[in-house]
Amino acid sequence: MNEDVFNESLRRFLKRVGITSQREIEKAVRDAIEAGSLKGNDKLTAKMTLTIDAVGLKHEVTEEIALG
Average pLDDT over residues 48-57: 98
What is the span of the domain harbouring residue 9?
3-66
pLDDT in tens, 3-31: 999 999 999 999 999 999 999 999 999 99
Q: Are 64 and 45 in contact (CB under 8 A)?
A: yes
Q: What is the pLDDT of residue 25?
A: 98
Handedness of CA 55, 9, 13, 66 (dihedral sign): positive
What total number of domains does the chain contain? 1
Q: What is the pLDDT of residue 42?
A: 95
Predicted structure pTM score:
0.87
Residues 6+ apart with CB under 8 A from 50: 57, 58, 59, 60, 61
